[in-house]
Structure 1
């Protein structure tokens, strides 16, 4: 029996040397870094950050980027170092907790060197990119309103391209904060051939020379579109996980103080059942998110499939968690006085772009076909 999916205690920093063994917890250093990020963002404004950004999306970069810069977020190299990949995941989770109005996962997934991703002579050649996003469909969109940053995009079929927010009137950008959680249509300029695939072939190179993804044995995954997809999809799911953490926490806090018929809502069995359902979903996503990180670290060929499976589970869990949280909050959950309202609204781009649950399921089905995902009872060679 393969040990590929057998979880054990300890993370990448726990002294585990077997690449086939997954740690249930992130490394202690990564967990502490995530805690520092939660505190730093809280001290910088916490929930007020997203409220300020809604009023003026053009200030998003100035609101968030300096805070993350001070704690060393932009020095992380998740593509090159397994421990820093875990730290990036913890950071994304922390940003999700506050519904931080900034594409942190997408910036952390940026190609460090555009070799193989951005051809010579392009707008980004020699200067790199600020971030990486996934786009799909004839009219792609992304939550990039108000940001003057350069993004590379990757498509589910392996295509690469450059994206920019379409020219929009200032009032449209300002309105996007409230009505679309900063999502606007973007223009995608393919860098591949007629089929939309990259002209560059996948290649592997030593650590520190390209935008590959670091593995547990010190090697570097290639800088192929698959490596891009696995990394950005996984980090986005860690952001959504942070939002689920906060939603469950807010629901618990609310039912502990809200009384009905002379006792707290938390004492009603029906409420306890709902919270249990939400917590089970949240915990399941947490374990799958850890598995997807390990899959990237181990250099598994199924890393993209694992990331898509994580995304599908995270989207389904988000539907349940936010439904429970809103039901328990009642009308208050839709009022600006409640952090749940802001959290729920700004989770929508992660849940709907580039595609929703059905689109993610279709991507995953096409990726794995009839083979299925690697599991506890898969043959050792099925990796």
Structure 2
């Protein structure tokens, strides 16, 4: 079992972060919110110049790792573009991306991105998405649009593991940034003549958040390995990753907001944008309770194999 990303994938992820920083960094999501129709032109060429859309994560293990690193880098900047959904696209040339949908009102974070979207439901049903537009302003919708789903023949269960895993890498990038922002904030703010970072209670909070983030990091790598190996439990592993990522996001963002205080909810603070644009990832296709029900329904009493199963079976 190899859980470290390939050197090429790690370097690609760093290039993504650098390229998005040069293109505007934190300002990208702010520009996209002001002018949603420009969302595609702001991001697509930047990542296209890096060869992002040429990646074939379904066919090459290293390119799968590069796709994951790309999603993480995009999440770091709260990049206003459905990167994971494009990279999860199926082999069907009729579609440009793939979205996992669930619930009575299927939706995705693809407003103002004029591409052809395929969907896969959590029971494996395939479909084609017809966006019908958000019902609220972009600021409140975070580019989420509802869909009408046109059913397609066939079973899409084989697509679920990848389509569930890559958005978790995007969320992991957001957790990376949220903790970075929290650490930077407590180092420069003072109380009673001391830096906030010197207070033991603050150190305990940051440690709790870092433990959660590292746990998601490890599970994200394990889920990739599971997909690369073609394990029959890959969807279960992807759901376990999603559940861990959602629970970690609640803790990390709560702690980051607590340490920032009221300013963490103001648009002058990067954390506010990052937190707000993480919500669709955390709520769609289902939230923590729905994810837990799906996972427990699939694995029943047998449980997950996990990282510490019998080495002879790995």
TM-score range, shorter chain: over 0.9
> How many Å separate the matches in 1 of 2:178 and 2:292?
25
Q: Which of 253, 260, 276 does residue 322 from structure 1 map onto?
A: 253
Q: Which has the higher helix share?
A: 2
> How many Å separate the matches in 2 of 1:57 and 1:231?
28
Which consecutive unaligned segments of at least 5 residues does structure 1 have? 1-20, 115-126, 193-197, 201-224
Q: Do the aligned residues in 2 keep the contact of 1:61 with 1:147 (CA within 8 Å)? A: yes
SS at match of 1:161: strand
The one-character-per-residue Cα deviations of 1:322-374 (angstroms, maximum 9, x if unpaired) are 00000000011011111100000000000000100000011111211111100
Match of 1:86 in 2: 65
The one-character-per-residue Cα deviations of 1:103-139 (angstroms, maximum 9, x if unpaired) are 0000001113x2xxxxxxxxxxxx4211000111221
The one-character-per-residue Cα deviations of 1:279-332 (angstroms, maximum 9, x if unpaired) are 000000000000000000111000000000000000000000000000000011
Post-superposition, which runs of at least 4 consecutive aligned residues in structure 1 deviate over 6 A?
none
Match of 1:361 in 2: 292
Distance verdict in 2 for CA 1:100–1:167, change over 3 Å:
closer
1:48 lines up with 2:48 in the alignment: no
Q: Which of 139, 142, 154 does residue 105 from structure 2 map onto?
A: 139
Match of 1:282 in 2: 213
- Report the Cα offset of residue 65 of structure 1: 0.3
Q: Do the aligned residues in 2 keep the contact of 1:109 with 1:231 (CA within 8 Å)? A: yes
1:241 lines up with 2:202 in the alignment: no
> How many Å separate the matches in 2 of 1:28 and 1:167?
41
- Report the Cα offset of residue 167 of structure 1: 5.0
> How many Å separate the matches in 1 of 2:81 and 2:30?
12
Match of 1:130 in 2: 96
Match of 2:74 in 1: 95
Match of 2:243 in 1: 312
Report the number of matched residues: 313
- Report the Cα offset of residue 258 of structure 1: 0.4
Match of 1:345 in 2: 276
Q: Which of 86, 91, 110 does residue 107 from structure 1 map onto?
A: 86
SS at match of 2:159: helix
- Report the Cα offset of residue 380 of structure 1: 4.7
Match of 1:22 in 2: 2
Please identify the structure whose Cα radius of gyration is greater: 1
Match of 1:203 in 2: none
Match of 1:221 in 2: none
> How many Å separate the matches in 1 of 2:15 and 2:157?
31
> How many Å separate the matches in 1 of 2:70 and 2:104?
32
Match of 2:141 in 1: 180
